[in-house]
Amino acid sequence: MPDLTDKQTFSDDDALEFHREPMPGKISMAPTKPMATQRDLSLAYSPGVAVPVLAIAEDPDRAYDYTSKGNLVAVISNGTAILGLGNLGHMASKPVMEGKAVLFKRFADVDSFDVEVKTTDPDEFVTVVKNIGDTWGGINLEDIKSPECFEIEAQLQDLLDIPVFHDDQHGTAIISTAGLINACHITGKKLEDIKVVLAGAGAAGLSSIGLMKAVGVRAENTVIVDRDGVVYKGRENVDQWKAAHATDTPHRTLAEAMVGADVVLGLSAKGAITKEMVASMAANPIIFAMANPDPEITPEDVLSVRSDAIMATGRSDYVNQVNNVLGFPYIFRGALDVRARTVNHEMKIACAQALAMLAREDVPDEVAAAYSGRKLKFGPDYIIPTPFDPRLIWYIPPFVAQAAMDTGVARQPILDMDAYRIALRQRVDPSAALMQKIASAVRAAPNKRVVFAEGEETTVIRAAWGFKQAELGTPILLGREDLIRKNAAEAGLNFDDLDIEIVNARISEKNDAYTDWLYERLQRRGYLRRDVQRMINQDRNYFAATMVARGDADAVVTGTTRNFNMVLKEVRRVLDVRDRLIGLSVLLAKGRTLFVADTSIHELPDARELAEIAIQAAATVKKLGRTPRVAFLSYSTFGNPPGDRSEQVREAIRILDQIGVDFEYEGEMPAELALDPEARAAYPFMRLTGDANVLVMPGIHSASISARLVQALGGATVIGPLLVGLEKSVQIVSLGASVSEIIASATFAAYDEAVGDEGQA
C-alpha cells in the first residue's frame, strides 16, 4: 500500500489497526431511552410506539418531536471523488463517510449515519436520495465528483424540504471566505477593491469564488484558472458552472493573471503556484494554498520571496489551516435547531462572518493553554479560529440559526438566543479535545528530546516513529541499533528517512560519565561502583533517567516491559522528588473530565499527605489549562458515620484551611455530592461553586479500583496514571501498553517539561 503523503504521521498498519480495533469502524448506535423493564419495552415498541406513529401520520412534522430526525444527518456519497484519490467506488468511500459522522458528533453533537449509493449516474443518485430523504433532518453530500455534484445538490435542494449541503463545495468556501475577510481587515484592503485569482476551478474553487462575491468581491475583479488556462468569456468547451464566473480579461495563464493580484486561491495541485508568481503579486498579498496533502506552494517558499504575505493552507502543521471542520458541524447544528428547510446563501455568509469575528476576539486561556501559555492573537498568523476552540459550538450556530430565521427558512424559531447558547455549551463533551490541546502545546513549545527507554520493543519503536512524524518532539530510542532497525523494518518503518536517534547504553560515549555521576549519588546507599556500572550498562531505565538528570534529554517514557513499582524504584534512585509525588489519572466520561488522585503512589495517605496530594493535583490541573475544584472523597458525609479514614480526610481539610491555598476544596463526601448539584443542595455550607473536577481519594485502593471499574464498564476513557512530582519529567506506561498509549504518555512527558520551561520563563 503506497504512502499517501511524505509527511504522513502514522504507518499504514497504524491506520488499519485504528479502523479495525477494538471493533471495526468508527461509529455505533447508542439508545437514548432505558430498556430495563417490561414497561420500557412496551413504551419503546409495541404497543406504546403506536401512539407517536398515529401522531406523525396526522402531521409528518411531529417526527421532529417523537423521533431522532431533528438531530440526524445523513452523510451520502457515491465515491466518485474520494479525498484526493478519485473514483474508487461507493464502498471505498465508507471509511471517509464514517469519519465525517464522527466529526459531526464530536464537534456539534449531531447524530449522523453514512449512506453509500451504488451508482455514478446523477439522476439515479438523486432518485435514491429523494426517496429516503425524509428520514433525516439534513443531508451532507460528500466526495461526489465535479460537475455532477452541482447538479445533484441543486436537484435535491429543490426536491427535499430539509437542508442539503455539499461540504466539498461550501465548507471550503465558508472557511476561506472567513480567512479572506480577516486578511483584508489586517492589510487594510477592501473586499470590493481586491483582485482575486482562483487556481483550480473544481467544486470547492467555484463555490469559494461565488461566496466571496456574495460578501463583496466584485465579479469583474476575479479571474478563474483551470487546467486549460484562464476561463475567459467566449472560451469554448467550458461547462455552465465555470462559464458563470468567466470574465473579460486578456490573461490566458495563471502567471499572467497573478501579476498585480491581491489574492490567489489555490485549490488545484502541489507546485501549481511558483515563487515567481508570488513575487509578481501586489503589496501584502493574500495566498491561500489549500491543496491537500501538499499545498500549491509552501509557506517557506512564499516567505523566501515575500515577507509581507498572509498565508493559509489546508494543513495543520502550518498556521491558518483552512479546515472544513470549522464549518459543517456548526452549519448543521444551527440549521437543525431551527428545523431549517434549506441551507441558503445567507446562512453560509453568516457562518463565514461569525468565524471571522470569533478570530478577532480575545482568545480565552483555555485555548492559549494548548500552546503552552503562548497567547494567540488576531494577526497574520491567526486569521481563522483553531478547530479545537471550545467557543465554536456556542458561537457559530446562533448566527446560522438567526440567518435562517431572518430569511424565512426556519420552521421553529429560537426565542431566547442566550438560553440557546447556554444549551450549546453543554452539548459537546470537551474531554475528547484534551489530548489534542496537549499535543498542540507540545508542538508550539521548544522541541523536547524524549527518551523511549525500551527502544527494542516493536510497539515502542512504532510509538517513537509516530511521535516523530506527528512533530511532537525528538524521540531517542535506547537499545541495540541492529535489533531496533530489524524490528523497525519488520514493522514497515524506514528510520533513515526520519533520522531518529538510537543510543546503545553499553557502548555510549556517556557511559563512564553517567556511571561516575550515579555512583557519587548512590555510594552512601550501599552501592559499589561496579553495581552502578552494571546498572548503567544493562538497565535502560537507569540510563534514561540519568540522561534527563544530566540534561542530555528532557523527558522519559518507559514501563511497557516491567511493572510500575519496579520502574518507579529504579527511576527514583536517579531522580529526586521535586514536590509531593503522586499518580494522577484522567477520567473522561459523559461530558466530564475528572482528575483522580492518588492512583499509584500512596497506599493509605495520612492527613498531611492527603493535603499535599490535593495541592499537587490542583497545580497539575492548572498546568493543563483547567480551574481545579477539589473534592476529598470518603464513604462518610461530613462526619457521618465517623471513622478513622474519614477523620484523616477531615484533618486534611483543616490543614488546607491553615495553609491557605488558591483553589476550591471541600470534604469529606461521597462521589454524588462532588458531582451532582442537586445532591449538594442539602448542604448549603459547601464551598464548591460547581461540580468537582479533582477527586482526592482516601487510599490507593479506592482510587485505582474506581478508575479501572469505570473504564471496564465502558463509556469512559482513563489516561494514566500520570506520574507527577519528580524533578524531571518521567511517565510510566502500563505493562503491554499500546502504541497510542505510549505516544500519549510521551506527549504528556514532553508537555510537563514544556510547561515547566514556560513557567520558569
Question: 278, 126, 136, 131: which is closest to 197 by C-alpha?
Answer: 278
- CA pair distance 6, 296, nearest whole angstrom: 15
CA 283, 284, 288 angle in degrees (round to 5)? 125
Surface-to-core class of residue 709, CB atoms within 10 Å of its CB (0-12 exposed, 13-18 middle, 19+ buried): exposed
- The H or E element that residue 277 is part of is helix 275-279
Pairing of strands 629-633, 555-558: unpaired
Which position among 7, 45, 118, 683 bears the catalytic label?
A: 45
Is 45 assigned a catalytic role?
yes
Is 145 assigned a catalytic role?
no
Alpha helices by DSSP H, 282-327: 299-305
Dihedral angle, C-alpha 127, 132, 133, 136, nearest 10 °: -160
Provide the angle, in degrees to the nearest 10, between the axes of the packed helices 328-337 and 167-187: 110
Dihedral angle, C-alpha 458, 462, 465, 470, nearest 10 °: -160
Residue 222 β-bridge partners: 196
Contact 643, 635 (CB under 8 A): yes
Extract the C-alpha cell encoding 195.
483582485
Dihedral sign from CA coordinates of 265, 215, 140, 151: negative
Largest CA distance in the chain: 92
What are the angstrom distances between the C-alpha of 747 and each of 458, 580, 595? 19, 22, 18
Q: How is residue 24 annotated by DSSP?
A: S
What are the angstrom distances between the C-alpha of 558 and each of 452, 456, 725, 746? 6, 12, 17, 9
Contact 632, 669 (CB under 8 A): yes
What phi and psi values does residue 252 have, to the nearest 5 degrees? -125, -10
Dihedral sign from CA coordinates of 44, 47, 49, 52: negative
Which position among 69, 94, 100, 195 bears the catalytic label?
A: 100
Surface-to-core class of residue 681, CB atoms within 10 Å of its CB (0-12 exposed, 13-18 middle, 19+ buried): exposed
**Strand, coil or helix: 475:** strand
Catalytic residues: 45, 100
